[in-house]
Amino acid sequence: MAAAASLRWGLKRAGAWLLPWSARCPRRALHKQTDGPEFQSIYSLDKLYPESRGSDTAWRLPDDAKQANNDIPLVNSKAEVRFHLATAEWIAEPVRQKIAITHRNKINKSGELILTSECSRYQFRNLADCLQKIRDMIAKASQTATEPSKEDALLHRLRIENMNRERLRKKRINSAIKTGRRVDMD
């Protein structure tokens, strides 16, 4: 009885090893290398955004690695995201105009908004950081300016008057000190 149970257990266990790799691990097909010697994760940009391949993509990952020393190769982990701001229909028109005004130093001559990131050692994290920067810019530009209430405006005006009064008082004190130091030449 025990021999039959161990034989069934052994066959059941060995049966899994008799199957090909793809049948044993169905997720392995997701990680299979296609064209090229490089490993491509299931989270690679080509698999997440398959329709945006080629030179017209919005993001660019520089692939030129620099070398600082003969012993230490530097990996270029910089990520750059660029898109034409005027034709970005996924952003509302007033938001686009506000972004163009507030971030005019990040827009090149052809009207592309360029964001770069190299805060992490990994390009994918840097790309995520660039996309988060775009989200933050859109969120900040989408916020409408609130009009201060009458009480807030009055309080603000009183604070400015008090600051000016204090500034002039200190100026008078400083002037009196300097006048007292002056020697008359008669």
Q: Between residues 29 and 133, which one has the greater pLDDT? A: 133
Measured at the CA of 68, the angle between CA 62 and CA 72, to 5 degrees, comes to 100
**Phi, psi (rounded to 5 degrees) for 9:** -65, -45
Q: Which two tokens stand for residue 170?
A: 């200190």
Amino acid at 143: Q
pLDDT in tens, 91-150: 899 999 999 999 999 999 999 999 999 888 888 888 889 989 999 999 999 998 888 899
CA distance 56 to 62: 15
